[in-house]
């Protein structure tokens, strides 16, 4: 392998000694310079770091590579944070505690089936205290569900937006809100300058409000927070540069459960209010009883409220008109004037709406006002929000007229009748929130922490099936996440070196399209797997195009950085380098590049790119055409390697391909031909025999007679970990059944998947890799240990190749059973950003105890912690003490009556990748462990590194044989390694708002880690400093003299320049900064 491109690297860097001296000298100079400006510097640091109130500790671990951060660099400075791992944040409502208290009894509440009979005293309103009602027209447009994104636009959405402009312009009293920028952007491209200016006027005048402003209304369960942020950024950027508009309020009426991650991102992006709808009906009832449907939602770890955002929960069953005016859907439906008899849509309650006339307006107004008054009883204020809309509403002029004209007659009557003591009008979402803020201090509202999973809309119908539905596409999402991010980072670095054509023209368009398509899939019917078959295919094809676009830009950036001489011309449409793994079809699980070595082509070079900002060591595996190979580094020195066969079936090998594994510390290596190592050890294990594999003295795995994991051994202690596969069926005839959304198993305890002890077990052992492979019905199961000092050596890797396409109403899960005394508690991640404590409740059915696992889960006791990290999102539970159960795939023959109208029978061969990290707790260590009553959890360092390893793997690439230029052997743009707990989430080129040219937006994230679980003998390979200080002018070549400014998380405007380039980050903190050149 001839070269490696990666941010940290060694290459032309200064030596470690020189690095340390330079860093120390810079620090001394800085201290001398700022000594007389001590207060000014401290204020700057406080401003940048969002300092709070906690004095932080710093961990410093010896590391062969100097890092940006070390404890000595603080020299007595105090960093204050709003996170204290040993302090339980105080809130009024903690959702786990609410779950402990709820009975989930589902009592029939009468007309409000999931509530109770609401009454009120008319005297509570009077001329000095009127009820204020905002009727908010809206149309929920799914960017793909029953039809594809483009079909929806062609046949429905463009008509909605066309008529919206006309009908709002007819009467300044009319209002409307819109959420999905993906549709709005498509429509905008077709509009004349006159229409565009009219839309801008409608927004300026407050008639039209863009809510949330994301590309889509994203799923909040299994989506990862990085693409969640990408889709939000895409929307906000579009709004800024086309409408000069920034959203103020968020609207999340359809995601199937809500996470605190989105409120955190929205808050950091500058939004002030959010509205949510799909919350468990028992939770809604509890909040409504206590008038707590409006609250200040804050992060689980927040001790001072700095992350909180004002939140409104819609109280009733749905966001449609029958369930939004008040508690009685039979009455509310009569005020959905699109259901007038001539439109063809009727009310299920058999009482049709009536057009408003002079003769019936008094009676109809009284009936509707009664519902508004009853709804008001559920809130602390005298302000009522009444949404007026549904899926794909307002497609035709007649519907606009029916709704707006009939409601205006009702408004006019109510407002003119002083005895009613009501002020009612059309409004936007922010009109409603502004009215609350005008009359109330937000401190009057309770604080809440936690999430709203798992969602149930009625009975025991828990929406936990979609956590796993169509896992093939969930895996594809994470592959695209990695490649798109990697391409953006490398393109941005290449741009800093003057390669302007990478961020302009067709290459910029390719990356933009890739972001749009990935963002589209974050839609709550996209990554969830809850769309029609043809729509899923369309999503998959778009993601394959996004992968290809990202790969093209990545290889172009690589060539621009490595070509010699630099003046060599590059064809921006040419492909000079191919990825090691590609997906040519929308059903492909990933095809590995085969390195063909022949007499006429005895030497091959491989490029390795590391998108993580620090040096990484790992075992790299490539596929070669011959066993007769050797590996050398770029200096020509041989590197130890291992060849392994590729099994194509039970006891069947291929002689055309072999796996070549070797340890790399990026930068890279060469492959050439002379030496001929053979296989180390290949076995077909005799029937009914137990065995073990090991790679490092600290870690080994034992297996039972069936070839499945039986135990892991760490630090001379063996922990039983029995791996098995289990299956669920669905309910019998006449009962509601599982489908795309719902998990409704036929019984609480699944059946074991029978595995014959006579099945063939394949075992490969060698100096670098040990591997166990076993195949049985529906699963090809592989366990791998690597002899690596990097993060890939931290645990046991699991690869499950799943194919259940021949089954019927079948749900397959992988279950781990241990003797870890975890009781009824376990932990899952929140969109890969934070960890939350879960509790198994016997009062809930199996499906109610399943939760989303976007990236990781763990169980623990006072001795051990078992963390499972995943490369794809799935559903997870702990159905018994010491147990982790992860759903693998599900195939359902029927619809579950949630609107999709089909089962899930398009299952594809799917590769699942996991890593099991078993850790022993340090003796007498409590400093970094949350108290037992803390509602959140914290990953260990190894858990964090393992998750990062799966999400952002080193990317291998293969240069084509005949290039029109030479390639340098390495490229290393970083001057220092970042510590292991500091991540560069994104690093991409943006246009500068209100300015000229472009800049680079960088988002940093400081992870919170529990350091009580780490093996000291392995820590020497990683650098960790909890209190991270970064000099933003020094970490990267080529940007020394650039201006560094504050920015919101979606970079829709530029804040003031940083007073000091040195920033400090607290655990959990996300910090966006914008680098831009000084304009001459």
- Token code pair at residue 987: 């690093």
Q: Can you tell me the distance from the alpha carbon of 396 to that of 997, in angstroms, rounded to the nearest whole number?
A: 42
Q: 3-state class of 298 per DSSP?
A: strand
Helices and strands counted in the chain (H then E): 19, 54
Residue carrying structure tokens 């709550």: 524
464 within 8 A of 949, measured Cβ to Cβ: no
Q: How far is CA 940 from CA 499, 791, 857, 860, 936, in A?
A: 40, 13, 11, 11, 13
Angle between helices 225-243 and 261-268 (to 10 degrees): 30
How far the first Cα of the chain sits from its last, in Å, is 43
Q: Can you tell me the distance from the alpha carbon of 613 to that of 1022, in angstroms, rounded to the nearest whole number?
A: 13
Phi, psi (deg, nearest 5) at residue 49? -85, 0
Alpha-carbon Rg for the chain, nearest whole angstrom, is: 30
For residue 453, give the nearest of 261, 257, 315 by alpha carbon: 257
Q: Can you tell me the distance from the alpha carbon of 273 to that of 277, in angstroms, rounded to the nearest whole number?
A: 14
234 within 8 A of 185, measured Cβ to Cβ: no
Question: For the chain, what's the residue count?
Answer: 1080
- Token code pair at residue 698: 């600290």
DSSP 391-433: ET---SHHHHHHHHHHHHHHHHHHHH-GGG-EEEEE--HHHHH
Q: 3-state class of 657 per DSSP?
A: strand
Residue carrying structure tokens 């970079």: 1051
682 within 8 A of 764, measured Cβ to Cβ: yes
Active-site residue (options: 219, 254, 477, 889):
254
- Token code pair at residue 738: 């599982």
- Token code pair at residue 142: 């799914």
Looking at beta carbons, which pairs linking 1044-1047 to residues 24 or more positions away fall under 8 Å?
Answer: 1044/1073, 1044/1074, 1044/1075, 1045/1073, 1045/1074, 1045/1076, 1046/48, 1046/1072, 1046/1073, 1046/1074, 1047/1001, 1047/1072, 1047/1073, 1047/1074
Phi, psi (deg, nearest 5) at residue 564? -140, 130
Residue carrying structure tokens 């749009």: 516
Task: Report the 10 Å Cβ neighbour count for 1042.
Answer: 19
Q: Is 819 a catalytic residue?
A: no
Secondary structure letter of residue 153 according to DSSP: I
Cα-to-chain-centroid distance, residue 959: 32
Q: How far is CA 543 from CA 474, 477, 478, 588, 675, in A?
A: 11, 8, 11, 12, 41
1054 within 8 A of 992, measured Cβ to Cβ: yes
DSSP 324-335: TSSS-HHHHGGG
Q: Can you tell me the distance from the alpha carbon of 386 to that of 371, in angstroms, rounded to the nearest whole number?
A: 10
Task: Report the 10 Å Cβ neighbour count for 603.
Answer: 11
Q: Can you tell me the distance from the alpha carbon of 598 to that of 350, in angstroms, rounded to the nearest whole number?
A: 78
Angle between helices 158-170 and 397-416 (to 10 degrees): 40
Say which residues have a Cβ less than 8 Å from residue 208's Cβ, sequence separation at least 6: 164, 168, 175, 176, 177, 178, 199, 202, 428
Q: How far is CA 279 from CA 139, 456, 566, in A?
A: 20, 7, 57
7 within 8 A of 489, measured Cβ to Cβ: yes
For residue 429, give the nearest of 297, 293, 248, 160 by alpha carbon: 248
Please tell me the number of Cα atoms within 13 Å of 175 on its side-chain side: 23
Indicate which residues carry an active-site annotation: 254
């Amino acid at each position: 392998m001839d070269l490696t491109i990666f941010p940290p690297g060694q290459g032309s860097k200064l030596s470690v000694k020189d690095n340390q001296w330079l860093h120390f000298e810079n620090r001394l100079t800085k201290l001398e310079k700022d000594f007389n400006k001590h207060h000014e510097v401290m204020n700057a640091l406080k401003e940048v770091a969002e300092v709070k109130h906690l004095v932080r500790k710093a961990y410093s671990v010896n590391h062969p590579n100097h890092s940006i951060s070390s404890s000595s660099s603080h020299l007595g400075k105090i960093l204050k944070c709003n996170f204290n791992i040993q302090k339980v944040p105080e809130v009024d409502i903690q959702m786990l505690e609410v779950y402990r208290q709820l009975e989930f009894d589902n009592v029939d509440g009468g007309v409000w089936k999931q509530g109770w009979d609401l009454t009120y005293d008319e005297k509570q309103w009077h001329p000095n205290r009127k009820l204020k009602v905002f009727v908010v027209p809206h149309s929920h447009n799914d960017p793909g569900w029953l039809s594809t994104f483009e079909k929806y636009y062609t046949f429905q959405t463009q008509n909605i937006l066309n008529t919206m402009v006309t009908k709002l312009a007819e009467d300044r009293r009319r209002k409307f809100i819109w959420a999905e920028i993906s549709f709005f952007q498509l429509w905008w491209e077709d509009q004349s300058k006159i229409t565009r200016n009219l839309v801008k006027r409608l927004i300026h005048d407050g008639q039209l409000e863009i809510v949330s402003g994301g590309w889509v209304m994203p799923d909040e369960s299994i989506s990862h927070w990085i693409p969640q942020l990408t889709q939000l950024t895409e929307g906000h950027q579009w709004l800024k540069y086309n409408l000069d508009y920034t959203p103020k309020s968020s609207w999340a009426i359809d995601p199937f459960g809500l996470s605190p991650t989105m409120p955190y991102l929205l808050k950091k992006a500058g939004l002030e209010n959010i509205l949510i709808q799909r919350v468990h009906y028992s939770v809604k009832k509890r909040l409504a009883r206590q008038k707590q449907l409006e609250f200040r939602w804050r992060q689980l770890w927040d001790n001072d409220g700095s992350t909180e955002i004002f939140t409104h929960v819609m109280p009733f069953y749905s966001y449609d008109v029958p369930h939004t005016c008040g508690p009685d859907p039979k009455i509310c439906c009569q005020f959905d004037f699109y259901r007038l008899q001539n439109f063809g849509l009727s009310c299920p309650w058999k009482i049709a709406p009536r057009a408003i006339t002079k003769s019936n307006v008094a009676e109809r107004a009284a009936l509707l006002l009664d519902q508004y008054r009853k709804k008001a009883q559920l809130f602390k204020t005298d302000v009522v929000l009444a949404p007026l809309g549904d899926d794909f509403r307002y497609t035709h002029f007649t519907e606009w007229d029916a709704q707006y004209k009939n409601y205006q007659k009702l408004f006019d009557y109510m407002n003119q009748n002083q005895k009613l003591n009501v002020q009612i009008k059309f409004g936007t979402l922010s009109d409603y929130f502004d009215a609350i803020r005008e009359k109330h201090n937000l401190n009057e509202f309770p604080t809440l922490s936690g999430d709203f999973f798992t969602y149930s809309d009625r009975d025991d119908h828990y929406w936990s099936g979609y956590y796993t539905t169509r896992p093939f596409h969930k895996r594809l999402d994470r592959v695209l996440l990695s490649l798109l991010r990697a391409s953006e980072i490398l393109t941005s670095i290449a741009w800093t070196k003057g390669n302007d054509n990478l961020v302009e023209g067709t290459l910029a368009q390719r990356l933009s399209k890739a972001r749009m398509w990935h963002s589209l899939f974050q839609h709550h019917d996209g990554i969830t797997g809850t769309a029609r078959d043809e729509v899923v295919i369309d999503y998959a094809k778009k993601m394959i195009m996004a992968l290809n676009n990202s790969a093209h830009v990545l290889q172009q950036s690589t060539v621009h950085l490595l070509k010699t001489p630099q003046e060599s011309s590059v064809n921006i449409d040419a492909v000079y380098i191919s990825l090691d793994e590609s997906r040519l079809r929308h059903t492909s699980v990933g095809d590995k590049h085969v390195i063909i070595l022949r007499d006429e082509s005895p030497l091959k070079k491989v490029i390795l790119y590391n998108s993580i900002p620090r040096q990484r060591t790992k075992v790299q595996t490539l596929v070669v055409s011959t066993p007769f190979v050797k590996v050398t580094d770029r200096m020509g020195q041989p590197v130890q390697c291992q060849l392994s066969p590729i099994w194509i079936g039970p006891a069947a090998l291929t002689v055309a391909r072999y796996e070549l594994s070797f340890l790399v510390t990026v930068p890279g290596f060469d492959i050439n031909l002379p030496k001929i190592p053979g296989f180390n050890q290949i076995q077909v294990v005799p029937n009914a025999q137990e065995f073990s594999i090991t790679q490092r003295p600290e870690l080994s795995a034992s297996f039972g007679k069936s070839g499945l994991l039986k135990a892991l051994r760490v630090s001379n202690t063996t922990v039983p970990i029995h791996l098995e596969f289990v299956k669920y069926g669905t309910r019998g005839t006449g009962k509601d059944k599982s489908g795309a959304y719902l998990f409704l198993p036929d019984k609480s305890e699944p059946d074991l998947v029978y595995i014959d002890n006579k099945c063939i077990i394949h075992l490969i052992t060698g100096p670098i890799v040990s591997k166990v492979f076993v195949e049985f019905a529906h699963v090809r199961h592989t366990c791998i240990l690597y002899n690596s000092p990097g993060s890939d050596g931290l645990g046991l890797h699991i690869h499950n190749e799943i194919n259940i396409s021949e089954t019927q109403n079948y749900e397959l899960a992988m279950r781990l059973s241990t003797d870890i005394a975890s009781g009824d508690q376990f932990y899952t991640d929140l969109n890969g950003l934070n960890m939350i404590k879960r509790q198994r409740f016997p009062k809930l059915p199996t499906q109610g105890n399943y939760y989303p696992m976007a990236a990781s889960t763990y169980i623990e006791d006072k001795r051990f912690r078992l963390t499972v990290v995943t490369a794809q999102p799935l559903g997870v539970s702990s159905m018994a003490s010491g147990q982790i159960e992860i759903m693998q795939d599900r195939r359902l023959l029927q619809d579950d009556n949630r609107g999709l109208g089909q089962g899930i029978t398009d299952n594809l061969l799917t590769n699942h990748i996991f890593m099991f990290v078993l850790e022993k707790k340090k003796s007498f260590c409590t400093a970094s462990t949350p108290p037992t009553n803390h509602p959140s959890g914290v990953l260990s360092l190894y858990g964090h590194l393992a998750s990062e390893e799966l999400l952002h793997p080193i990317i291998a690439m293969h240069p084509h044989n005949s290039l029109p230029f030479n390639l340098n052997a390495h490229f290393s743009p970083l001057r220092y390694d970042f510590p292991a707990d500091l991540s560069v989430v994104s690093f991409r080129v943006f246009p500068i708002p209100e300015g000229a040219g472009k800049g680079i937006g960088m988002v940093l994230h400081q992870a919170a880690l529990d350091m009580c679980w780490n093996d000291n003998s392995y820590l020497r390979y990683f650098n960790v400093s909890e209190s991270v200080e970064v000099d933003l002018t020094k970490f990267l070549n080529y940007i020394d003299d650039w201006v560094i400014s504050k920015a919101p998380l979606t970079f829709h405007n530029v804040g003031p320049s940083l007073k000091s380039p040195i920033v400090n980050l607290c655990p959990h903190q996300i910090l966006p900064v914008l680098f831009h050149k000084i304009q001459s």
